[in-house]
Amino acid sequence: SYSCKYDGCCIIDKITRNQCQLCRFKKCIAVGMAMDLVLDDSKRVAKRRLIEENREKRRKEEIVKTLQNRPEPTTSEWELIRLVTEAHRHTNAQGSQWKQKRKFLPDKIGQSPVEPTSDGDKVDLEAFSEFTKIITPAITRVVDFAKKLPMFSELPCEDQIILLKGCCMEIMSLRAAIRYDPESETLTLSGEMAVKREQLKNGGLGVVSDAIFDLGKSLALFNLDDTEVALLQAVLLMSSDRSGLTCMDKIEKCQETYLL
């Protein structure tokens, strides 16, 4: 039921109509609105849900229409897609065999933080030690991926270093996220070590682990193939907003090329 703070004496116009539901309702009835058009709470919620569903449906239809109207990639674009995909496959540990080759981090490791770090967070040292063993090879694979992209190698060395520093964690997180397994609720790091959320969090990543796991859950719905993942990585690499770059315009054009 509606109520009015001012004894039902509000002036209702275009500006004030949302300030008092009771007076607005009374004015609507006074000008002839039928009572059977008044919605109770459940009907109002259902109507709002229907509006949202229709809005989402229209949004998806627009996306599909846009994709359908896109021209077929040119020969040079197909060649770029092939190069980027191959760069990813050659630097992606275990490839499509990661589920068969992964090893689960024992449950006893990383389930409870034990040692405080300099910033006050607590870290399970055993889990941290396991993660440090795979971090260097993972970084090396990201660098190798970048070096296999023609447009990246054409950039000044200083810009290459800045781009790699900026994207390395992002690409490693993406590579872990696409290997989220909903059955075991684990991410597989570097194609070999399957870890649970708390293990990753207590092993040194803290709240970042939540973001990576949530990303993994979202990406699992899309079932991305190697080409899509490869292009995503190339887009992350060629981010012209990294601080200190000298060839920002060239890098931005490179990124646009990967946004096929």
Residue 107 lies in a domain: yes
Strand order of the β-sheet with 180-181 is: 103-104, 193-196, 186-189, 180-181
C-alpha pair distances (Å), 163 with each of 101, 150, 173, 231, 255: 31, 15, 16, 16, 12
User: d(Cα 6, Cα 22) in Å, to the nearest integer?
Assistant: 10
Residue 52 lies in a domain: no
Q: How far apart are the first and last CA of the chain?
A: 54
d(CA 202, CA 197): 9
Query: Which residue type does 44 have?
Result: R
pLDDT at position 3 is 84
Half-sphere exposure of 217 (CA within 13 A, CB side): 9
Q: Which of 47-51, 96-100, 116-120, 194-198 has the highest mean pLDDT?
A: 194-198
- Domain-located, residue 17: no
Residue 173 lies in a domain: yes
Tell me if 110 is assigned to some domain.
yes
CATH number at residue 117: 1.10.565.10
Q: Is residue 253 part of a domain?
A: yes
Q: Quick one: which H or E segment has residue 218?
A: helix 208-220
Give, as one character, the DSSP assignment of residue 260: -
Domain annotation covers residue 43: no
Q: Among 16-20, 37-41, 228-232, which stretch is predicted with the lowest mean pLDDT?
A: 37-41
Q: Which of 165, 163, 136 is nearest to 255 (CA)?
A: 163
Mean pLDDT for 55-76 is 79
Whole-angstrom distance, CA of residue 126 vs CA of residue 174: 24
Does position 220 have pLDDT exceeding 70, yes or no? yes
In a domain, 223, yes or no: yes
CB-neighbour burial class of residue 222 (10 A; exposed 0-12, middle 13-18, buried 19+): exposed
Higher pLDDT: 11 or 111? It is: 11
Q: Say which range, 31-45, 76-90, 152-166, 209-223, has the weakest mean pLDDT.
A: 31-45
The arithmetic mean of pLDDT across residues 179-186, rounded, is: 93
- Residue 239 near residue 166, CB atoms below 8 Å: yes
**Amino acid letter at 83?**
L
Total domain count for the chain? 1
Q: What is the 3-state secondary structure (H, E, C) of 54-94?
A: HHHHHHHHHHHHHHHHCCCCCHHHHHHHHHHHHHHHHHCCC
Q: Which residue has the tokens 């599909």?
A: 64
Domain that holds residue 112: 73-258
Amino acid, single-letter form, for residue 187: L
- Could you tell me the pLDDT band of residue 48, with boundaries at 50, 70 and 90? confident
pTM as predicted: 0.69
